[in-house]
Structure 1
Amino acid sequence: MKQQEKQRYQELGDFLRTRRARISPEQVGLPRGIRRRTPGLRREEVAQLAGVSVDWYTWLEQGREITVSTQVLESLARALHLAADERVHLFLLAHQQLPLERPALEETVSPTLQHFLDHLGTSPAYVSGQRWDIIAWNEAACAVFGDFRAMRGRERNAVWRTFTSATHRQLLVDWEGHARKLLAQFRASFGRMLGDPQLTELINDLLTASAEFRLWWPDHEILGTPEGQKALNHPQVGFLLLEHLTFQVYDAPELKVTVYTPINEADTPRKLQQLLTEGPRVPLGF
């Protein structure tokens, strides 16, 4: 076994042992008994709760080279009452795919994050969830991309809007380049949520509604979330040029914040200030 792998298995064993030591028998519905020398749970108790053999679990804590399935890791996470961050750490140490975090029925942003968006001034910004729904925004985003407050359902979904909205297509100077990149980013995120019924329904409907989506989806292009520039042709103020950056929220990694910063070319900062001062005279509907 290579030294790095040996260290990883040892780290996994140590992590399991420390998690076991902090849980009392009463927390998992077991009697304490009289002769309990081990702090927390015994190995055989964890094995029983997780549905594995005592020998196998012992070897795992000893740092032996053992392949652990996703199902067993989930059982251990439940048996040891692991928090969300601890559960992810367990999967990483065991070299397994990160556990799927199903989004809540209603994804929300904290007041602090909304406050951050609202104080970005002339920089349009919004927050999107795991299914690419826009769930929070600032006034500049509404002025540039359309009034998210008036949109309903899928009208706020970035992928659906890109491929089905006529006004959004006209807004983007290079619609095809943007759509192809967004689709490749969406495909990458879709791989982490395979089987999600709402995403599956969204994709099936896009295959019906958009000829371009139907043509490009089978290509399986994959892309991260790069920085870059975006050129827009706004119906009220004309050409805009912005830099964009997307990052995850540390306390809610399923959420992404996208910020567009105006650059001096094409008098973009002044035009954005004009939009915010005057308000949209030309509606950017769906």
Structure 2
Amino acid sequence: MRNPADQRHELGRFLRSRRERLSPAEAGLPRTSRRRTPGLRREELAVLAGISATWYTYLEQGRDVQASDQVLGALATALGLDRPEEDHLFRLAGRAREDVAEPEPLAAEVAAVPGLLQPHPAYVISATYDVLAHNEAAAALFPSLAGQTPNFVRWTFTAQEARHVVVEWEREARGLLARLRALAGRHPGDERFTRLIDDLHEASPEVRAWWPHHEVQAQRPAGRKRLRHPGLGPLDYAFTAFHPAEQPEQTLVVYSDPRPC
């Protein structure tokens, strides 16, 4: 379980990563002499957010200081954060703006839905991407997901077949990791996420390389994904995600409308 000091340092690292990616020109600041570090200086960000430079430095260093909603909102605006990043910032600071209920066991009625959608690949996942139910078409498309207690993120980063099945593996894997970080930010101290993230760091060099970038993304309700079908080769699938009314953290994912790539 993540302790408060770890949480503060995670917040500091996230702020620094976003400060360093923002150029003075993007922030509306005039050009100055050559810079030793990328992005904005701490003092510049503090001025843009209307806060003390010393206090902001303490915040970025992970010291035991508390940021109000107003200060966090000012930092989010100054850094040009999008909504998923802003939500992530608030949660890291312990200022989540909504309570998220813990997931419950999969209802039998929901577990039956993937079978009803056959022959379209379909599965139900938890907040941590555990595969709770799937149909035969999904098992054919993602073979390892038919095993015991499968997890979609672990499969993506640790199963060799994933790099064959997911045609644009690096782009999809990096986006999946960013969405996992955003979800983990909504569950600070949740051992399910801590254990999963620790396992991914141990197993995947890509996770170890990408995690320090602090990328976050919102969950995708729909889109298209290129997957390699075992019998038909590369296909461009449409996918749609649904959430059961009683369990909004569980997700039913359905793939349809396959087109040749």
CA shift, 1:228, in A, is: 1.4
SS of the equivalent of 1:135 reads strand
Q: Identity across aligned pairs (percent)?
A: 36
User: How far off its partner does 1:115 sit?
Assistant: 3.1
Measure the CA separation in 2 of the matches of 1:257 and 1:195: 26
Amino acid at match of 2:173: A
Which consecutive residues of structure 2, in runs of 5 or more, have no partner in the other structure? Answer: 1-94
Q: Quote the Cα distance in structure 1 between the aligned partners of 2:174 and 2:186.
A: 19
Q: Which amino acid aligns with 2:213?
A: D
Pair 1:152–1:185, CA change in 2 (3 A): same
- Is the 2:145–2:155 contact (alpha carbons within 8 Å) kept by the matching residues of 1? no
Deviation of 1:147 (Å): 5.5
Q: Aligned partners of 1:157, 1:202: CA distance in 2, in Å?
A: 9
Normalised TM-score (structure 1): 0.54
The structure with higher relative contact order (CA 8 Å, sep 6+) is 2
AA paired with 2:202?
T
The answer for the alignment partner of 1:251 in structure 2 is 246
Work out whether 1:167 is the aligned partner of 2:176: no
Alignment map for 1:74-85 (pairs within 5 Å): none
Structure 1: stretches of 5+ with no match in the other structure = 1-94, 269-286
Q: Counterparts of 1:132-281 in structure 2 under 5 Å?
A: 132-146=129-143, 148-149=145-146, 151-153=147-149, 156-226=150-220, 227-263=222-258, 265-266=259-260
C-alpha RMSD over aligned residues:
2.0
Take 1:243 and 1:206, find their aligned partners in 2: how far apart are those partners? 28
Amino acid at match of 1:101: A
Letter in 1 for 2:98: L
Q: TM-score, normalised by structure 2?
A: 0.59
Tell me which residue corresponds to 2:102. 102
Q: How many residues matched?
A: 166
Q: Distance in 2 between matches of 1:141 and 1:167?
A: 14
Question: What amino acid is the match of 1:236?
Answer: G
- Check the 8 A contact 2:103/2:247 in 1, yes or no: no
Q: Secondary structure at the match of 1:224?
A: coil
Structure with the greater alpha carbon radius of gyration:
1
**C-alpha displacement at 1:103, in angstroms?**
3.4
Shift of 1:176: 0.3
8 Å Cα contact 2:144-2:155 kept in structure 1: no
SS of residue paired to 1:103: coil
Runs of 4+ with deviation above 3 angstroms = none
Question: What is aligned with 1:89?
Answer: none
Residue type matched to 2:203 in 1? A
